[in-house]
Amino acid sequence: MNKYTLSLLILVLISVLFIIPNNSVFGQMDQNGKSKIQQSKPQPSGKKEEGKDIYKKFCLSCHQADGSGVPGMYPPLQKSDWVNGDKKRIISIVLTGLKGEIVVNDETYRQVMPAQASLSNEQIANVLTFVRNNFGNKADPISPREVASLRPPSGTFFKGK
């Protein structure tokens, strides 16, 4: 092995040493990819938020503090068949919104409810459990798992009717 080949070999070795730390960049990209997938799973929420507080922040402005709604505008949650009925239907209303004609307690509404999908599965479970046990309603609780099973995959957009 002559001097030239030796120095070439050393050069190659050095450049390999520089490439290895660069590889860790790809490692990070991998991790990012993984964390994106993890986001679509139900996130463990930090502090437990009560259904009542979530209602105040995200529902009260339309459905009112006592769940009575606003005649002709926002339907009542009091003794509503929609609230006490099928769990899947009420979960989907919060996850994807609602539009089109609906009848609540013999009144017809033709409005649009925006989706509240930015709420976590736990927040939606808590707020719906609260609504289903207040305002004159009595229905079984809703779990974060039931909400998760109905949440559309991220990247899905509401197409309307």
Q: Which residues bind ligand HEC (CB under 6 A)?
A: 58-59, 61-63, 74-77, 80, 82-83, 90, 93-94, 98-100, 102, 104, 109-114, 116, 127, 131
Q: Which is nearer to ligand HEC, 58 or 134 (CB)?
A: 58
CA-CA distance, 63 to 77, in Å (whole number)?
7
Task: Give least dist CB 104 to ligand HEC, A.
Answer: 4
Q: Which is nearer to ligand HEC, 62 or 148 (CB)?
A: 62
Task: Give least dist CB 156 to ligand HEC, A.
Answer: 19
Task: Give least dist CB 54 to ligand HEC, A.
Answer: 7
Residue with tokens 């609602």: 98
The token pair at 30 is: 């991998």
Please state the φ and ψ torsions of residue 22, each to the nearest 5 degrees: -65, -35
**75 with 104: CB under 8 angstroms?**
yes
Q: Which is nearer to ligand HEC, 59 or 125 (CB)?
A: 59
Q: How far are the Cα atoms of 23, 58, 115, 121, 135 from residue 118, in angstroms, in the given order?
A: 35, 10, 8, 9, 24
3-class DSSP state for residue 92?
helix
Task: Give least dist CB 112 to ligand HEC, A.
Answer: 6
Q: Which is nearer to ligand HEC, 71 or 114 (CB)?
A: 114
